[in-house]
Amino acid sequence: MGVAGPPDPEQAPAVRRALDGLGFDARSIQALFGTTDLLRLALVGRPLLAYRARGNSALACLGRLFFLEQPEPLHDAVRLIGETPLETLRNAGLLAIDGTFVMPSIRLYLEGELRLVGDLHGSHRPELADFVLGPGPVARMLADLALPGSFANILDLGSGCGVLGCLLAGRSHNVVCSDVSPRAAAFSRFNAALNGIENLRAVEGDLFGAVAGERFDLVLCNPPMVMAPTAEYLYRDGGSEICARIVREVPEHLAPGGCLQMLCNWPERAGCDWRETPRAWFDSTDCDAWLLRFHSLTAEGYADLWLRQQPDGTSRSAEAIGRWVDHLTAIVADRVGGGLVILRPRAHSQPLRTLRSAPHVSAPAGAALQRLMRAQDCLMATNDDAQLLESRLQRAPELEQQITLNIGQAGWQQQKRELRLAGTLGFSAMADATTLGVIAHLDGQRTLAEAAAVYAQQIEVDPHRPVAGLAPAVRELLRLGMLTPV
């Protein structure tokens, strides 16, 4: 199968009308394949997907072409899709006719309400170094981690097919998708047009080269962060160096109060603090920085993870794993850490720095991230315990208390009580009975001292008693975003 060029944005409105007419949307394709997770279709397995899409309908035919990348006999495609819609998809460059068969030229995805195109999985091979990734679970995760609210200007840096820019376009006046690859920029232009998005501009350039002098309120970036032994793919093989470069260069492009949110990978050395490399990135800026470490993989596990995504069998050999492990060993990476960086112009007299393991983050967590940042701002601005006690604080809405009971001689006995940010950042913290009692009375109106007084009254003790020793525990809950200022 030859590699198709990007589709023509001029044709996108006609494609949209054709797909509307055929009822091609997320709900109908989810029903066809029997799964709501169209970004992880591979988990279902090809034989079962092919079985489910075996029918004689336009949707089944489109499902086979665009999701299974399966050729369709021309006379069947004409009968099922109709001559005019088929011609529209062909004119735009989504389908090609080869003899008596119709073939997909690019892959069509459904992501939320959006229809997006990317390169065919079948064209994922080193000869196509500028392979354009379609939407996937990693981009979805970053979109779900995006801070809430609207932003005057958003930059989708290393935009690929423009998935992040398209997903966030409704929350901004102006979205710029920038990518070093002209093919990627062309895919972004088509995708914006296909979804009727008019506030998105796709530009070409190395990192910030195409947006010199521009500042953004939100920069989202899923960079080519993979630490591979050879640079095969533009979308993948920039290593931790490109993450370091982005941290260095982004401050010039952040509007006051603006943020970078970037996924990243970095090397970790056995016996050393895992924070070593990312901390050095942050030392090159005067910005406030947060790093949440989602995972840390052994060199072997990292090699296996990435080689599993190669389409051709040979590249998944034991020798290939060996090459990756040797490369990682040579650059002193016993393990590879992965996570999210948030960078913002410094908001206090000293830069704020948080580097923390967060292995249980579950999306959407953008609002929880914003609460974490506000809570830490409050801590930075609070000089002493007296000021803290006068603060009006509230509990994070997803805060839960977990009580663990163990069975013993005397039956079930309480082992520990833990506070937990359930379903967002996943942080947990031990808390004593007094802290738990006081924070239960934080209602958004009361100060911490007032909540402590209400609790003292409830348990009938001296009003000053709960206050003693409360401040360090409350500081820790603020540090974790479990409490936030009102």
Ligand X SMILES: C[S@@+](CC[C@H](N)C(=O)[O-])C[C@H]1O[C@@H](n2cnc3c(N)ncnc32)[C@H](O)[C@@H]1O
Kindly state the smallest distance separating residue 286's Cβ from ligand X, in Å: 24
Which one of 195, 222, 376, 382 is in contact with ligand X (CB under 6 A)?
Answer: 222
What is the torsional sign of CA 180, 184, 186, 188? Answer: negative
Closer CB to ligand X, residue 227 or residue 470? Answer: 227
- The residue behind tokens 């590249």 is 315
Q: Does position 19 bind ligand X by CB under 6 A?
A: no
Binding mask 351-390 toward ligand X (x if CB under 6 A, else -) reads ----------------------------------------
Please choose, out of 38-46, 221-229, 308-316, 397-405, the segment that lies near ligand X by the rule CB under 6 A.
221-229
Closer CB to ligand X, residue 133 or residue 480? Answer: 133
Kindly state the smallest distance separating residue 315's Cβ from ligand X, in Å: 18
List phi, psi (to 5°) of 459: -100, 10
Closer CB to ligand X, residue 33 or residue 235? Answer: 235
Neighbour tally for 346: CB within 10 Å: 14
- How many residues in total does the chain contain? 486
Residues 186, 6 contacting (CB under 8 angstroms): yes
Element (H, E) at 470: helix 470-479
What is the torsional sign of CA 454, 456, 462, 463? Answer: negative
**C-alpha to C-alpha distance for 37 and 141, rounded to whole angstroms:** 13
Query: Which DSSP symbol is given to 277?
Result: H
Q: Does position 337 bind ligand X by CB under 6 A?
A: no
Residues 288, 344 contacting (CB under 8 angstroms): yes
Kindly state the smallest distance separating residue 366's Cβ from ligand X, in Å: 16
Residues 74, 97 contacting (CB under 8 angstroms): yes
Kindly state the smallest distance separating residue 180's Cβ from ligand X, in Å: 4
Contacts of 143 (CB under 8 A, 6+ apart): 163, 164, 167, 168, 220
Binding mask 74-113 toward ligand X (x if CB under 6 A, else -) reads ----------------------------------------
**What residues between 147 and 176 interact with ligand X by CB under 6 A?**
158-160, 163-164
Closer CB to ligand X, residue 81 or residue 221? Answer: 221
Kindly state the smallest distance separating residue 340's Cβ from ligand X, in Å: 13
Structure tokens, 477: 């809950």
Kindly state the smallest distance separating residue 261's Cβ from ligand X, in Å: 12
Closer CB to ligand X, residue 191 or residue 376? Answer: 191
Closer CB to ligand X, residue 11 or residue 181? Answer: 181
| Beta bridge mates, 220 | 156, 261
List phi, psi (to 5°) of 475: -60, -40
Please choose, out of 222-230, 272-280, 369-377, 465-473, the segment that lies near ligand X by the rule CB under 6 A.
222-230
Closer CB to ligand X, residue 369 or residue 375? Answer: 369
Kindly state the smallest distance separating residue 251's Cβ from ligand X, in Å: 17
Q: Does position 207 bind ligand X by CB under 6 A?
A: yes
What is the torsional sign of CA 341, 343, 347, 353? Answer: positive
Structure tokens, 412: 């079930």
Kindly state the smallest distance separating residue 229's Cβ from ligand X, in Å: 18
Closer CB to ligand X, residue 164 or residue 379? Answer: 164
- Nearest one of 178, 344, 358, 140 to 247, comparing CA atoms: 344
What is the torsional sign of CA 234, 238, 239, 240? Answer: negative
Pairing of strands 172-179, 254-268: unpaired
3-state secondary structure of 164: helix
Closer CB to ligand X, residue 132 or residue 389? Answer: 132
Kindly state the smallest distance separating residue 125's Cβ from ligand X, in Å: 16
- The residue behind tokens 């995760």 is 141
**C-alpha to C-alpha distance for 15 and 115, rounded to whole angstroms:** 10
Structure tokens, 253: 């492009």
**What residues between 179 and 198 interact with ligand X by CB under 6 A?**
179-181, 184
Pairing of strands 288-298, 353-357: parallel
Kindly state the smallest distance separating residue 303's Cβ from ligand X, in Å: 18
Closer CB to ligand X, residue 76 or residue 130? Answer: 130
Looking at residue 225, its amino acid is M
Kindly state the smallest distance separating residue 321's Cβ from ligand X, in Å: 22
**C-alpha to C-alpha distance for 293 and 332, rounded to whole angstroms:** 19
Burial of 255 (0-12, 13-18, 19+ CB in 10 A): middle
**What residues between 223 and 252 interact with ligand X by CB under 6 A?**
223-224, 234-235, 238
Q: How many residues bind ligand X (CB under 6 A)?
A: 20
Closer CB to ligand X, residue 236 or residue 420? Answer: 236
Kindly state the smallest distance separating residue 332's Cβ from ligand X, in Å: 24
**What residues between 113 and 142 interact with ligand X by CB under 6 A?**
133, 136, 139
Closer CB to ligand X, residue 113 or residue 206? Answer: 206
Footprint of ligand X (CB under 6 A): 133, 136, 139, 158-160, 163-164, 179-181, 184, 206-207, 222-224, 234-235, 238
